[in-house]
Amino acid sequence: MANKWRTSVTDSAWVYVKYSINPSEVSSETLIRKITGIDKSKLYTIITSLRAVKTVEDPYADNQKYEGTWTVKSVEPLPDESGNTAGSASLIEVLSKGSYPYANPDNVTVARSRAYPLEQNENAWMYYERFKKEETKRWHNMTYTGIVDSQVFDGIRQIMTATEFTDFVTEGNDKRLSVYYSRRYLYVIVKGDGTYTPWFVGMGGQGDLAAGKYWIPSGITYSANDDWHLAGWTEVENPIIRECYYDRQEDGTYNLYRSLETTSDTAIMRVRALQYAGMVLVQGLPILDDTVITLKGFLDVDEIIYKNARFRIGSDTYRVLSNQTCTEVAGESVGQVTLDVSPSVTQATEDLADASENQTQVFWDAL
């Protein structure tokens, strides 16, 4: 009598168990399917054949096709001890959507991102602020063949000049006619060197990338010459690749990571909320042994300078003897004040003011 149990695996034999996906996380799409009623005497042979299968194209479950390439995450055999299939075995297969030989938009997620201001101090009350951003991208379900491909890992881990990049993509067998080959360069960073680069032809007039600036491809397009090219370039401000690495997952796939730091070229002037803030200068020419000094340049036009506040002119430190209120300098929107000070004006202070009239800077100890 013929054996009623299955001795092979066919598409129509798989039944649906579970499907899950997080729409905001492209790496989370998972299909779990099952085959029941497998002949135990053939189980190891079937497992051996399934073990060699790393990816599945258009897998079926309940005769429903799930399109695309899926990575085999696990295959687990289980005995059936009850019901109509008692005495046979089952196979549960977990599939994850995607299998990628290179980094591309289909398998990328942002693993970490942070941004913060970078200060360039000018003086106590004013500084320049530039914008710094650090972002780590992760490319999941990558194959070992793709990871060890120098065109993939070497292309993403370094910054090349336009000339170096042209030589890089045309090494060996040039496959630029393929859209798939072109997509592997979507995350390279290129520094323009003012040279003509044929691989950039047909990219919106950017055959020559501006020298001294950094660029990253914005996409690919099919050109009039019947081949594929990078569609255009987006400028990247002062990029630094902090790290680039890959690690192996339990299912044999790889995750590729790159942490990229960028710093804006544009600097914005900021003012600190400090008392007596401003580019305060000695106004006029103080006289040796005098006990008053006029100062100009306070941001607050009616600032009150309090008794016992201290300021430095060169190597001399002066103490304010009484409260004084600034008055606005007409047409300049800054405050000016004449202060009673101790000690009296020194020779060093007079010499500094004489050498740089109305340009000798004052540094406050009480900010």
Residue that is written with structure tokens 């009480």 in the block: 366
In order of 156, 331, 336, the CA distances from 317 in angstroms are 57, 31, 19
Tokens representing residue 353 in the block: 């003011």
Q: Which of 111-125, 150-164, 179-193, 213-227 has the lowest mean pLDDT?
A: 213-227
Which helix H or strand E contains 293, and what residues bound it? Answer: strand 292-298
Q: Around Cβ 195, how many Cβ atoms within 10 Å?
A: 12
Is the peptide bond prior to 343 cis by the omega test (within 30 degrees of 0)? Answer: yes
- Which residues on adjacent β-strands are paired with residue 298? 335
The per-residue pLDDT for range 76-129, each reduced to its tens digit, is 999 988 888 888 999 999 999 888 888 888 888 899 999 999 888 877 778 899
CA 306 – CA 308 distance, rounded (Å): 6
The radius of gyration of the chain's CA atoms, rounded to the nearest angstrom, is 36
> Looking at residue 170, what DSSP letter applies?
T
The per-residue pLDDT for range 1-23, each reduced to its tens digit, is 356 888 888 999 999 999 998 87
Q: Around Cβ 131, how many Cβ atoms within 10 Å?
A: 16
- Which residues on adjacent β-strands are paired with residue 302? none
CA 176 – CA 200 distance, rounded (Å): 11
Does residue 154 come out as left (phi exceeding 0), alpha (psi in the -120 to 50 range) or beta? alpha
Per-residue model confidence (pLDDT) at position 250: 83
